[in-house]
Structure 1
Amino acid sequence: MKISSRGRHTLQFHLSVVFLILVLSVGTLIGWLAYSRMNTVITEASANLFNLTSTEAVAGLGRLYAPAELAVEVIARQEIVRAETLEERLANLPPIAGFLEQAPSLSSIYVGYDDGDFIMLAPTPDEVSRRSFSAPDETAFVVQSVERDVGMEPRGRFVFLGPDMERLGEDERQSFAAYDPRIRPWFERAQAANGQVKTSPYVFFTKRNLGQTVALKVPGTSATVGVDITLNTLAETLRRQRVTEHAELAVFGRDLGMIAHPDETKVVEMRPPSATGGAPELGRLSAVQLYGTSLPDVAKAAVEAGVTSADDKTLTDRLSIHGEPWRVQVSPLKIRGSTPYYLAIAVPEAELMFHARELLHQGAIVIGAVLLIAIPITMTAARLVSKPVRALSAEAEKIRRFDFSDPIEVNSAIIEIDDLASSMHGMKSAIQRFLDINDTISAEKDFDRLLHTLLREMGGIVGAERGAIYLISDDLTYLQPAAVMDGAPQSLSAHALEALPGPFRKACEDRRAYAAPVSGEDLSICGGDPSAAENPDRNAVIVPLFNRTGILIGMMALVREELGDGSLVRFVDALSGATAVALETRQLIASQKALFQAFIRMIADAIDAKSPYTGGHCARVPELTKMLAEAAHDADTGPFADLKLSEDDREAIHIAAWLHDCGKVTTPEYVVDKATKLETLYDRIHEIRMRFEVLKRDAWIAYWEGVANGGDREALAEKRDTELEGLDADFAFVAECNEGGEFMSPDRVERLQDIAGRTWTRTLSDRIGIGREELNRKNEVPEPGLPVDEPLLADRPEHILKRRPDDLFTPDNPWGFKLDQPEHLYNRGELYNLSIARGTLTDEERYKINDHIVQTIIMLSRLPFPQHLRHVPELAGGHHEKMDGSGYPKRLTGAQMTPVARMMAIADIFEALTAADRPYKKGKTLSEALKIMGFMVKDGHIDGDLYDLFLTSGVWRDYAARFMKPEQVDDVDIDTFRPKASAAA
């Protein structure tokens, strides 16, 4: 039921009302939160972090220096500052050792004296430190001493003390005696200052790590107390303050020398090998990199901005590094008794956005809450939309699967969806109709039926009751009637293109379907009755048909008695292209098949015309093969009850039968027609006759020479006559052997050898005036000097024609040929040919004749047959195979041969036996031929089941009526020839 138009709204209206409210609410809330909190969070986060880090760095320095400052003040009041010998000084060390045990940041405590003496106490808390001093394993402290007595060389000693300050041993270390505290910076600064001093960070002489010295000149004494502190704890403080993954922190001096960095390897650097001694030196701030941007740039900017002045200024900046913003701050760190240090901090701004991300997370929660509220509203609206949309989606899926079985029945309150359902229904019907017509066109193979099918289908689309199809004439000047719709007048006239009525001419000129009113004579062109009553609504749909090259090939005219939908005309116009292509394709296929059939017949006729001994063989074998194939197709019982032929099968059999001997075009005529043993292009018996004639002349010449020389005329005549009689008898024997009528027994071959032993004299060169190939064969042996005596009969080297390499078939040849190939292509030796045991053919010539089936298979296998004709070479090439596998060229057995190939073998043999147009033999009668074929069944040469079908179906009788002479057709009792009947008997 249709919903009233007042209750329907557009899809855009429904979706816009719901989603605009949601989008505006969520967007406003997120925007307000982000705008109000973002800048505050970033600023506060960076300021808090930097201030906290600076405060912690100052506190760390305070914690670092406090133990050292206290130790210096306390030690300055100890007796050690007044002790003059090593023993006295060692006695005052236990209180001092307590400072080293309580403050791990203290590296060592020492006292330097104005006379150059020096004593230092250093802890050895681990194995590494003990090894560095070469101390015993139990050593807890090492005392390093330098004593300078007046008049004596300085003395350097290492004393090793245990945990309870017991003495474990000592070593003379004369290399240490060179150490003079009076030239060290800490001593010099303390001497010049009034109170404690702190040196700049430096690399300790003994331990090679970075630290500072807190020193104090003890008033009223010659001693100066020093305490070394390491800066490792400051580096640890910086590491703890590295709150983000990519934050960089560094403490440096005014000269950019590194004081502390989370990565201690960047604080102390080894000098290059070229530097003196390779001693370590203080690292430079340039070693610290921010993704490729160095902190020195920030530090220099801080110095230039006056950060190191007394104003205690802090430099804060915002840098862009690789397109990413960074927050940077350089702050001064004031140290009592020392020049200021500076703390540089650089943090990616993105890593400072932690709070901002929390803000975004809160925003997401808010969005989720808003969406939870919006879900019921959205689902209510979606429910109204989804049901018809789902139905249309299911219909679209059916269309995608080409399922057009059910109509589309979808109603919706949304105008666009309702209209879409109607459009899809029309589209579905149109596609279904289009596919049905295309299927019908594609399935129809008969051209005339195709024309009537097109008329019927197109007429059904536009509602036409009359119609006709015209096809263009061969000269492209006339439209000739080809089909008319059922019920219309069946006699239509051709129409010249130039004389077509207006609507028809306009459709052809516009190259599209055209609808126009039609009556009278124009109506008759469309297959209508020109005398029909006038109907103002009657119109004709004229569809010009153009092929793929744009040439007019025909026209379709359809008449309907009422006005139709214009869209149907457009639909017919869209179909016209497919219609024209279908017509053109069928015409091309029909033309190509006709051309192919003519070509096949031309080859067969050429083969039959090539030799008078084949006659109509190539035309009769196809007929007999097809007759036998149809008999097998019609059999309802027996071994061939399941053999059913399709039209494609019949076409393949027809082509294979007509081309079964196409390879004979390669067989020389003089081999096929060889009537005598010495015959090639001519009969070489004439050459031998001339040699005998020469010998007979020689006998006469010898007789007259003897008479001229006074010999006995009667004796000479008797000798001459005997010689002539022997030559006549020998030539008669040679001529008889040449005919091939008798079997060549060994004694006859021996007589040939005796005759060949006689010689005759040749005085002329046999290598002039001949062809190149024969000359090449003769030149394989040197030419003898003339005159030369030659055998009367001979097998000469030039008589051998060698086989070309491409004529040889390997056992794995692609065609599967299994042939015993003679060594030579031809052997034309005179003795070799005359000694043939039976017939007139040598082994080489017999192979050449049999080779026609090889060439047939090769020629046909190279043709691009369509799929349904791919087995033509197999069908055509098997008719010389035998059931027992002794045939050729593949030595197939009956089980390996197709039924059609076995049928063709029977047809080939029966036609050869009964053919009456062979000049060398008389055609056999029916009974004679059938009897011979019966023996061939027993010998395993032909298929017994097929031969039985050949007899029982009467194919032999039908063939005889069509192709055999009346005198050959005698009475036949097929029961006497049937293989099964013979077996039963």
Structure 2
Amino acid sequence: MSAERDLDLLLPLILFEATKVVEADRCSLFILDRERNELWSKVAQGSKSEIRLPVGSGIAGQVAHTGAIINIPDAYADTRFNRSFDVSSGYQTKTILCVPMRDANGEVTGVIQALNRLDGQGFNSEDEELLLALGAQAAGAIENALLHEEINRLFEGFVSASVVAIEARDPTTAGHSGRVADLTVTLAQALEHLSTGTYARTHFSSTEIQEIRYASLLHDFGKVGVRENVLVKAEKLYPHELEGLRARFQLARKDLQLQSYRRRFEAVKHRGDKHLAEIEAEETERLGTELKHLHEVFDFVLTCNRPTVLAQGGFERLNELGHLQFEDADGKTQPLLLPREIQSLSITRGTLSSEERREIESHVEHTYRFLTQIPWTRALRRVPEIAYAHHEKLDGTGYPRAIPERTIPVQSRMMSISDIYDALTASDRPYKKAVPHTLALDILKREADNGQLDKELFHIFVDAEIPRRALPNAPK
């Protein structure tokens, strides 16, 4: 009894032992809620609903209030007995023994109440001693179970707050951690139904499922250590860089117009007023051509700035555009595109430079360092290790450690599949469109066939329809 930590399992066990030890027909157990000054019971033999009553009310309430034993040989002859339960249930209470449960400090923590001794006689002093002794043991066990529940609630609250912090840091991925946790847990539970293959009869206990869930919820917590502008970078140029480039193009436009007016002035000076209309037409056409070219260049730059793959020759053209210049307000020649802008616009995949990608990837190291600082219980001690390996690949090409297949936990392998699937199908990423469900599975299959993801786990992910079962709004 003292080893049981689940209150829902412990309380019926206590009642079973109490009923047996005093040879009663049935028993009830009430726990003292000091904050509300009430007794409450999740389990009372013969009752299906939770019972709450004020301390001092009824027989159990009086025992909790005074700490004294109440032993009633004839319930209906005692004015303290409330017959309403018998009336509503059809049960007939004859004898009652109600004793306090006391903790190691002697404080009343609850009440055990036994009804109707099986031999038809009243409860005796020996029954009182036995039930008191059981009550003392039960009080300690219940206190441990309640403490265990409090620790669980503490961890739940901490994990929930951490997820809020992650999503506040990167609102574009809101909901990702929760979805990855749901997918991974559902996949883990699906393994229990396998009868063949590597993972046949694999079973995760409720505590191990909780460990997987926590690791999944916290797998991206290290993003709090990544610069926010890198974390939410939607295009190859940062917004302030794009604004600077836009302002430069506006200045270049003004410069073209100014150069045109200067040429008109010089042309009139050399060719005379009688050619004014001709000069005006020539310059209007030339300026129009130059402005159109400038506009096309800017449109090309905007295209390059998006997280798409450039068409053939795009990188070469970017380098050529690096030679374009204009005169600023001080008459100094300035480049239209800066070297660092050309470098950023030349990113071949996504929006991140190699340096920025390394910074993003560093979130795994940050996550591990953060999680190892938490005093996890023995049952949850592998949370940091599971989260640490969620970006590793079976062929050794993952990050941050590029560890071999045999050292990657199965929990991390499941999380990798779930993480990639949600990242592909999520519709809340500003830098990419959501990928349809079938295409996401094709991409995962390609990685599994290439030896990067666990092939068997991937097939279970597909065959067991994990996304449909785990996510209420799963993509089609």
Which bracket does the TM-score occupy, shorter chain normalised?
0.7 to 0.9
Query: Match for 1:557 among 113, 118, 125?
Result: 113
The match for 2:54 is 496
Distance in 2 between residues matched to 1:711 and 1:725, nearest whole Å: 28
The match for 1:456 is 16
Aligned: 1:684 with 2:228: no
The match for 1:921 is 433
Superposition pairs for residues 887-926 of structure 1, below 5 Å?
Answer: 887-916=398-427, 918=429, 920-926=432-438
Query: Match for 1:580 among 113, 116, 139?
Result: 139
Q: Which runs of 5+ in 1 are unaligned?
A: 1-440, 764-786, 796-828, 969-985
Distance in 2 between residues matched to 1:531 and 1:746, nearest whole Å: 87
The match for 1:621 is 180
| Counterpart amino acid of residue 671 in structure 1 | V
The match for 1:737 is 304
Query: Match for 1:543 among 85, 91, 99?
Result: 99
The one-character-per-residue Cα deviations of 1:416-463 (angstroms, maximum 9, x if unpaired) are xxxxxxxxxxxxxxxxxxxxxxxxx22334423322222232343334
Contact 1:745–1:837 (CA under 8 A) maintained in structure 2: no
Q: Match of 2:42, SS?
A: strand
The one-character-per-residue Cα deviations of 1:905-926 (angstroms, maximum 9, x if unpaired) are 1222233334455563143243
Distance in 1 between residues matched to 2:403 and 2:466, nearest whole Å: 26
The match for 1:597 is 156
The match for 2:338 is 794
Query: Match for 1:519 among 69, 75, 90?
Result: 75
Post-superposition shift, 1:793?
Answer: 3.2
The one-character-per-residue Cα deviations of 1:228-258 (angstroms, maximum 9, x if unpaired) are xxxxxxxxxxxxxxxxxxxxxxxxxxxxxxx
Distance in 1 between residues matched to 2:129 and 2:412, nearest whole Å: 54
Query: Match for 2:32 among 456, 467, 472?
Result: 472
Contact 2:73–2:122 (CA under 8 A) maintained in structure 1: no
Contact 2:236–2:352 (CA under 8 A) maintained in structure 1: yes
Structure 1's 517 and 835: CA in aligned 2 closer, same or farther, altered over 3 A? same
Distance in 2 between residues matched to 1:492 and 1:748, nearest whole Å: 75
The match for 1:750 is 319
The match for 2:273 is none
Query: Match for 1:830 among 334, 338, 341?
Result: 341
Superposition pairs for residues 766-781 of structure 1, below 5 Å?
Answer: none
Distance in 2 between residues matched to 1:690 and 1:791, nearest whole Å: 13
Contact 2:43–2:50 (CA under 8 A) maintained in structure 1: no
The one-character-per-residue Cα deviations of 1:26-85 (angstroms, maximum 9, x if unpaired) are xxxxxxxxxxxxxxxxxxxxxxxxxxxxxxxxxxxxxxxxxxxxxxxxxxxxxxxxxxxx
Distance in 2 between residues matched to 1:699 and 1:532, nearest whole Å: 99
Superposition pairs for residues 802-813 of structure 1, below 5 Å?
Answer: none
Contact 1:526–1:558 (CA under 8 A) maintained in structure 2: no
Superposition pairs for residues 600-749 of structure 1, below 5 Å?
Answer: 600-604=159-163, 607=166, 611=170, 613-641=172-200, 643-668=202-227, 670-679=229-238, 682-704=239-261, 711-712=269-270, 714=279, 717=283, 724=291, 727-739=294-306, 741=308, 742-743=310-311, 745=314, 747-749=316-318
The one-character-per-residue Cα deviations of 1:189-219 (angstroms, maximum 9, x if unpaired) are xxxxxxxxxxxxxxxxxxxxxxxxxxxxxxx
CA RMSD of aligned residues (A): 3.8
Distance in 1 between residues matched to 2:153 and 2:248, nearest whole Å: 57
Number of matched pairs: 457
Q: Match of 2:97, SS?
A: strand
| Counterpart amino acid of residue 696 in structure 1 | R
Post-superposition shift, 1:519?
Answer: 1.5
TM-score if structure 1 supplies the norm length? 0.42
Contact 2:264–2:283 (CA under 8 A) maintained in structure 1: no
| Counterpart amino acid of residue 541 in structure 1 | L
Post-superposition shift, 1:565?
Answer: 5.3
The one-character-per-residue Cα deviations of 1:488-545 (angstroms, maximum 9, x if unpaired) are 56679643224345x853x44553545455513645589878999997xx4x432223
Post-superposition shift, 1:842?
Answer: 1.0
Q: Match of 2:322, SS?
A: helix
Distance in 2 between residues matched to 1:582 and 1:518, nearest whole Å: 32
Contact 1:466–1:526 (CA under 8 A) maintained in structure 2: no
Distance in 1 between residues matched to 2:43 and 2:193, nearest whole Å: 35
Distance in 1 between residues matched to 2:189 and 2:211, nearest whole Å: 13
Contact 1:619–1:658 (CA under 8 A) maintained in structure 2: yes
Distance in 2 between residues matched to 1:525 and 1:482, nearest whole Å: 21
Distance in 2 between residues matched to 1:666 and 1:579, nearest whole Å: 47
Post-superposition shift, 1:754?
Answer: 0.7
Contact 2:255–2:326 (CA under 8 A) maintained in structure 1: no
Post-superposition shift, 1:899?
Answer: 1.5
Post-superposition shift, 1:656?
Answer: 1.8
Q: Match of 2:323, SS?
A: helix
Distance in 2 between residues matched to 1:512 and 1:859, nearest whole Å: 51
Distance in 2 between residues matched to 1:532 and 1:687, nearest whole Å: 84
The match for 1:939 is 450
Structure 1's 526 and 859: CA in aligned 2 closer, same or farther, altered over 3 A? farther
| Counterpart amino acid of residue 433 in structure 2 | K
| Counterpart amino acid of residue 752 in structure 1 | L
Contact 2:112–2:135 (CA under 8 A) maintained in structure 1: no
Post-superposition shift, 1:555?
Answer: 1.7
The structure in which a higher percent of residues are strand is 1
The one-character-per-residue Cα deviations of 1:3-42 (angstroms, maximum 9, x if unpaired) are xxxxxxxxxxxxxxxxxxxxxxxxxxxxxxxxxxxxxxxx
The match for 2:359 is 848
| Counterpart amino acid of residue 182 in structure 2 | E
| Counterpart amino acid of residue 54 in structure 2 | A
Distance in 2 between residues matched to 1:493 and 1:628, nearest whole Å: 38
The match for 1:447 is 7
Aligned-residue identity in percent: 29
The match for 1:964 is 474
| Counterpart amino acid of residue 644 in structure 1 | H
Structure 1's 695 and 630: CA in aligned 2 closer, same or farther, altered over 3 A? closer
Aligned: 1:878 with 2:384: no
Post-superposition shift, 1:943?
Answer: 1.3
Q: Which runs of 5+ in 2 are unaligned?
A: 271-275
| Counterpart amino acid of residue 99 in structure 2 | V
Distance in 2 between residues matched to 1:721 and 1:732, nearest whole Å: 16
Distance in 2 between residues matched to 1:914 and 1:740, nearest whole Å: 17
Q: Match of 1:684, SS?
A: helix
Q: Match of 1:442, SS?
A: coil
| Counterpart amino acid of residue 675 in structure 1 | A
The structure in which a higher percent of residues are helix is 2
Structure 1's 912 and 733: CA in aligned 2 closer, same or farther, altered over 3 A? closer
Post-superposition shift, 1:575?
Answer: 4.2
